[in-house]
Structures are given as C-alpha cells and as structure tokens.
Amino acid sequence: MAQADIAVIGMAVMGRNLAMNIAEKGFKVAVFNRSPARTDEAIKEAGDLAGNMIACHTIEELIAALKPPRALLLMVKAGAAVDETIDQLKPHLSQGDIIIDAGNANYRDSVAHDKALGAEGFQFLGVGVSGGEEGARHGPSIMVGGSPKAYERVKDVLNAIAARYEGASCCGYMGPAGAGHFVKTLHNGIEYADMQMIAEAYGLMRSGLGMTPAAIADVFEGWTKGPLASYLTEISVQALRSVDPTTSKPLVDVILDSAGQKGTGRWSAIEALDLGVPASAIAAAVEARGLSSMRSLRQAVNGALGDAERAPIGSATPEIIADIEKTLLTGKILAYAQGFDVLAAGSRQFDWNLPLAEIAKIWRAGCIIRSRMLDSMSKAYSATPAPESLILDPDFAGELKAALPSARKILGLAVANGHPVPALTSAVNYLQQLRTSRATVDLVQAQRDIFGAHGFERIDQPGAHHGPWHTGA
C-alpha cells in the first residue's frame, strides 16, 4: 500500500542518516539502495526508527510504497550514478512525480536534469545538503532549487529535518533548479577557505611561535568564545587535543599532510572566474589542497632548494596571539565577502534572485561553516538596500578597519620568516587592492596599447586614446 511520504535512494552514510532523521520526525520513508544488503543494514541501524521506514529491495517495491505525487530523494554518488539512477527510475514514474537530487551535484547538472525531466512531465529539485553525517542525522542545512510547486510537496519533510537556529528551520528555497546546488557549491568554497585559514593560523603558532598542539588548542578554545566562534574552530580544538594511541604523539603529527578534495571547492573557484568575480581566498585554499597532494614535487623542491628555514615570528605572548586572531578574523570576513559576491554575481547572471540574507540565515546552524559571524552577515544582507559587498556593511567595515593593522603585521612577519600563508595573504591583498584609490593597471593599459593598440581612457578627457609612446632608447 502506498503510504510513504518520501523515498531516500542511496543508503551510504548520508542517505541512511537522512532517512533516520526523516523517520524520527514522524514521516514514513521508503528506503532503497542499488545493493540491497545496504538497505537491510540501514534498517538494522535504525532500531526503533525502522517502524517509520519501509525497506524496498526493488524499484517496483519502492514505487508502490510511495504516496502520489511521488517524491524520490537521491543521495547517491554525484555525477554518473545520479544519471543512471534517474534512468532506472523514469520508466516507473508517473507524471508529476518529483526526483530530488540531494547529493553534491554540479549546479549545471541540476539545470540539465530539470530541463530533461520537465520535458517528460516529471518534476525535479536540486537540493544542497550540508552538515556531514551528524547533520544528516540530526539536522543539516538545506538549500533547495527547483519549482515552487515541487518544493511545496516536500517542504514539510525538508523543514522538519533541517537544523534549527533559535527555533528557525535552516531549510530555505533558493530559486529555480540549479540555485540550490550553486549555493551549496559556494558554501563548500567558503568552507575550503575557512579551513585553510584556520590551518594557516595554526601553522603560525606552531612553527612561528613554537607552540604545542595542546597549547594551540587552548588558544582556539578561547577563540570559540569570541568573533571567531564557529563549528570549524571547535573541531580544530578537538583535533589538536587528540593524541595518537600508538605513538603518544599529537594525532595531527601523524596525519599525512596531503588533503583530499571532491570538487566543490574547485567549482567555486571556476564559477568565480567565469563570472569575473574575485574569490582569491577560495582559489588559494583550493590550490593549497592541490599543492599538498603533490608530494613528490614538494619533496623534490625541498631537496633542490633546501628546507624553508622557517624562522620564529616572535614568542607566544597574549599580544601576538591576539594579532593572529585578528588576522584570521580579517581573512575570514573577506573570504565570506568573496563567496557572497560570487553568489550575487551568479544570481544576476542566471536571473535567480538568490536570497543572500536567507542564505546566511540557513548557514547559521547545521552546516559545516556554521558560525556566529553568519548571524551578523544575515543582518547585513537584510538591510535595504543590501550592501554591494559585505565589506561595505558598517559593522564589518568597522571590524576590518580595526583588525587590518594586526593582519598586516602578522602577514608581514609570516612572509619575511618563510611561513606559507596563501589564503590569508590572498584575502588581505584583495582588500588592499580594493582599498587603493589608484591601481597600477594604468601601466598594464599602457603595455596593451603599445603591443596591441588596444587604446586607453584618460582621466581628464573623454574618448579612446593611443600614446604617444616614447620611441628609441
């Protein structure tokens, strides 16, 4: 009998936790996995919650279990697996049924799925879900893209399972198909920058101030009570306090320094470049991960040029630690400002009308970048008119102005003493460039006119100009 409110397809970690979350909120959820053994494992893991779950071992069973119009949420590996699953489902669907891709899809794929499924009379939602395993189980941040009608059908379920911030659900409607995954992509891009900058601050304290991981954990713990309060700061405390049971060394010291990536950070940087919006801190973080994985090149350069000879930047006084906190604060505000600028540009380009204040709101809980600062960002974007950049919001402008001298001092010391700080310097350079009343591209324009007769505008006369250029020696 058709009694399930929704289906979750894909019983890997995210899918099964999402299904348990749905069941816990009182909805009936049909569950299905390509390999049936995983469906049974998920039901076993669900314990009492299995009462609200319907295990389906074939697509026919799954289709029969769902109330019409059917809502089928896919949590399978992004890319080809989504295409294959949609192809397998389609022959069994009825007009108006809704396919929901809740994986880490590229927004272009969601736009394409919406178009193709829409042409065949089906509905599609591209939904970004952030929060990892814990979020999926107890409340993620949910970014929905697709037709309002399709959203209406699953709104109650999605809002019920989302995280709460002061009682408000962290599920939001972002706009047409593609908008949900675009917002999720930028969420991940910002996440890359945030993580990299925290790691750079750690590096400065570790090799610049000679502090132990445990001592740095204490510093980070202090920061969780100030403007840098965030989930990522909290888990950094947890990481730095952990000890390897085998070697008794700090656990971070036995972790291979080569970071993985699944693509969303890179997509953010690509979208930013495509849209012509600087997202240098995000790009630097993506590149830092890329460089970290080039281990043989790193070893070869290390061998050819010697070690970086990182010198101390000082001793671990409260003053210098406060300066590093302000440096991270500066970098973080700027990375978020860049991420929101990409969202705003994407919104203009695709005519999405992305709700920036709402995005900051639904990121305040559930997702990986949840932080105190996002509450201030939601307030900044609620202003009418909304600021052209977060940097122009009076509160953030004030914070940046107050913190920038510390950032300049620390990053100066970092570069002079051989400490790599690519994301933090990219962020601060971005601000320095934005702040200058006269940029140095006047010389670039001159070069372009000399080699390509591209012409230039003058500050004192209208129209296009060429030279005259000095000739001879």
**Can you give the binding site for ligand ATR, defined by CB under 6 A?**
10-13, 15, 33-35, 38, 76-77, 81, 84-85
Contacts of 25 (CB under 8 A, 6+ apart): 157, 160, 161
**Which residue carries 């995280």 as its tokens?**
163
Output 48 or 87, the one with its CB closest to ligand ATR: 87
Side-chain-side CA neighbours of 176 within 13 Å: the count stands at 13
Question: b/e string for 71-95 if b means 16 or more Cβ within 10 A?
Answer: bbbbbbebeeebeebbeebeeebee
The residue count of the chain comes to 473
Element (H, E) at 243: none
Give the chain's largest Cα–Cα span: 90
2 vs 5: CA distance, rounded Å: 9
Give 73 or 413: the residue with its C-beta nearer to ligand ATR. 73
Q: Which is nearer to ligand ATR, 25 or 34 (CB)?
A: 34
Least distance to ligand ATR, CB of residue 65, Å:
18
Nearest approach, Cβ of residue 11 and ligand ATR (Å): 5
Burial readout 301-324 (b: 16 or more C-beta within 10 A, e: otherwise): eeeeeeeeebeebbebeeebbebb
Considering beta carbons, is residue 102 or 143 the nearer one to ligand ATR? 102
As measured in angstroms, the least distance from the Cβ of 84 to ligand ATR is 4
For residues 200 and 439, what is the distance between their CA atoms, to the nearest angstrom?
28
- Tokens 């099964």, located at residue: 16
The C-alpha atoms of residue 433 and residue 427 are separated, in whole angstroms, by: 10
Q: Identify the DSSP state of 445.
A: H
CB of 47 to ligand ATR, least distance (A): 20
Least distance CB 44 / ligand ATR (angstroms): 15
Coil vs helix vs strand at 434: helix
| Residues taking part in catalysis | 184, 191
Measured from the CB atom, the residue of 78 and 168 that comes closer to ligand ATR is 78
Structure tokens at 33: 């996995």
What's the distance, CA 139 to chain centroid? 17
Q: How far is the CB of 137 from ligand ATR (least distance, A)?
A: 15
> Concatenated DSSP letters for 138-165?
H--EEEEEE-HHHHHHHHHHHHHHS-EE
For ligand ATR, the closer CB: 81 or 112: 81
